[in-house]
A and B are shown apart, each in its own frame.
Chain A
Amino acid sequence: GENVEQHPSTLSVQEGDSAVIKCTYSDSASNYFPWYKQELGKRPQLIIDIRSNVGEKKDQRIAVTLNKTAKHFSLHITETQPEDSAVYFCAAIAEGSQGNLIFGKGTKLSVKP
């Protein structure tokens, strides 16, 4: 089955700097890659997703890139702000699967003012 690895597990940046979180997946048939943000004590919330027919997608300060050949995708946050501090999870789903998401173990991002 699908396996998703996420790095780093923790990331600390200064406010205004960029943050990059990387994930790799094992199933070459995977075609949908969402990213979720979970603030302390709250539910995971979808922040951006990408499908395998595109290589990059942007939404204001957030972007996701996908390299299908290497089977990895990354989340990029520019001009980080303290409210970006949270745990970020990547996920993948395989074509033909039942549709459930397999999540990475998460990255705890801390943005220092």
Chain B
Amino acid sequence: DSGVTQTPKHLITATGQRVTLRCSPRSGDLSVYWYQQSLDQGLQFLIQYYNGEERAKGNILERFSAQQFPDLHSELNLSSLELGDSALYFCASSTGQGVRNSPLHFGNGTRLTVT
């Protein structure tokens, strides 16, 4: 167990809908990262938060947004969902602002299916 908790495990929804994915980082970790993994694809970095502030942005669509709350948990909001948004969404956490001195630890992911 990595200590990173993601809910829900599975999510099935229809096109056009909006969903929220939740992540609780490991105890003591201040950074939260979101990654998208589509079928047979690698891990695409979406966004990073550190202690409540956005630190880095990757290939995140405008329909997607995220935030990190004072208790350090994070939520990824996906709106106007399309079939192509079906993927496994991973949350990861690390102690510091980056991963050079503290490795990245992944949660078990949320599998999103858009029908």
Contacts and interface: CB of A to CB of B under 8 A. Distances in A.
Nearest to A90: B42
B108 interface: yes
Interface in A94-111: 95, 97-106
Given A43-B90, A46-B104, A98-B55, A103 B99 contact: no
Interface string A40-56: 00111110010100000
B56 A44 contact: no
B97 to A, nearest CB: 5
B31 to A, nearest CB: 7
A32 B55 CA distance: 19
Q: SS class of chain B's interface: helix, strand, loop or mixed?
A: loop
Interface residue tally on B, bucketed by range: 20 to 34
B103 A98 contact: no
A7 to B, nearest CB: 13
Nearest to A9: B40
B45 A93 contact: no
Nearest to A104: B42
B98 A98 contact: yes
Given A93-B98, A99-B97, A106 B42 contact: yes
B93 to A, nearest CB: 12
Interface string A18-35: 000000000000011010
B42 A101 contact: no
A99 B100 contact: yes
B91 to A, nearest CB: 10
Contacts of A32: 99-100
Contact of B100 (A42, A43, A93, A105): A93
Interface of A: 31-32, 34, 36, 42-46, 49, 51, 89, 93, 95, 97-106
Interface of B: 2, 31, 33, 41-43, 45, 48, 55-56, 58, 90, 94, 96-100, 103-109
The 3 tightest CB contacts between A and B, nearest first, are A99-B98, A98-B56, A105-B42
